[in-house]
Amino acid sequence: MGSSSGEEEGTNKWVPPSQRPELADVVPVGQDDGPCPVVSISYRDDFREVMDYFRALYSAGERSPRALHFTAEAIHFNPGNYTVWHFRRLVLEALDTDLLQEMNFVDQIAESNPKNYQVWHHKRWLAEKLGPDAANSEHEFTRKMLAIDAKNYHAWSHRQWVLQALGGWESELQYCNQLLEEDVFNNSAWNQRYLVITSSPLLGGLVAMRDSEVDYTVEAIMANPRNESPWRYLKGLYKGDNYLPVADRRISDVCLKVLKDDSTCIFALSLLVDLLRMGLQPSDELKGTIESMENCDPETSHVDLATAVCSILQKCDPLRISYWSWYRTTLS
């Protein structure tokens, strides 16, 4: 028997292993649940028989085409059985099987089981064996899976591994742009964008990309101020130097613009209080906006302004009222 992707879904009627002449020499090994199983599982007869024969081949350490076939049958019954996947890899290596053909097989399984850890682990093993030549096809496959579910953690994790291990950075930022145009609330796409600008060998790193990325992010914030993802992304652009955003007027300006229209925007307020704590010298316009929100003394210092913003946050963000109460104590 071969190991083609179609072997498991053949057009012929399924024949129980006990009735297959080529398996006449195999003595099936039943599952041992011990003398007194707490909960005895009622397996289907076809599943039980396939697994009994699989256990026989596995116990014998057989590396043969029929052993490979049985792993495929067992996987179709239970795609999450890690022992079966592990044994399949051992047999694939022993038989020096065509790994591109195997990738086609596992892709079919993944399409029906998009969040199965064992399937994605097997794909990574194959991609690692195939090397950089597999990068394009793996990126295309994850695109396909993410088009179905944009938050599929397994697909994102695999895509990131392929980028870092096998390459394919050339169009990744454009892909992030596309995803965010489709859904600016896609936090997974924002996370991927950050990986690209900080890790791509083609873009020069975070420092080189910061200026243009700030403009991009500010635009996204102004379009949807209540979207948390770009606010967090904006903070991430200054990772490693928390005082740079104080000097960049675009950061305080976006807070001011948002608060003028929405004085209860938690994300703008929390970023603003961080800036004030780090020494931001507020403009008269910003002072006036805060004072009008909290009835502050016009001569209040920037530290007092930060305290005022904390007071506002305690009202706007009641779920974290204790946190903002504590934060106020750190302002001095």
- The residues assigned a catalytic role are 115
18: helix, coil or strand?
A: helix
Torsion of CA 250, 177, 268, 212, to 10 degrees: -10
Instruction: Give phi and psi for 96, each to the nearest 5.
Output: 50, 50
Cα–Cα dist 293/178, whole Å: 38
Rounded to an integer, what distance in angstroms lies between the CA atom of residue 272 and that of residue 202? 33
Buried residues in 150-180 as b, exposed as e (16+ CB within 10 A): bebebbbebbbbbbebbebbeebbebbeebb
- The set of residues, in sequence order, having a beta carbon less than 8 Å from that of 266 and lying 6+ positions away, is 313, 316, 317
Residue whose tokens read 């590396």? 63
| Helices of type H across the chain | 45-60, 65-77, 82-95, 99-112, 117-130, 135-148, 153-166, 172-182, 187-199, 206-223, 228-236, 244-247, 249-261, 266-277, 284-294, 302-316, 321-329
Closest CA to 162 of 144, 186, 142: 142
Distance CA 9, CA 25 (A): 25
Retrieve residue 255's tokens: 């807070």
User: 266 and 230 in contact (C-beta within 8 Å)?
Assistant: no
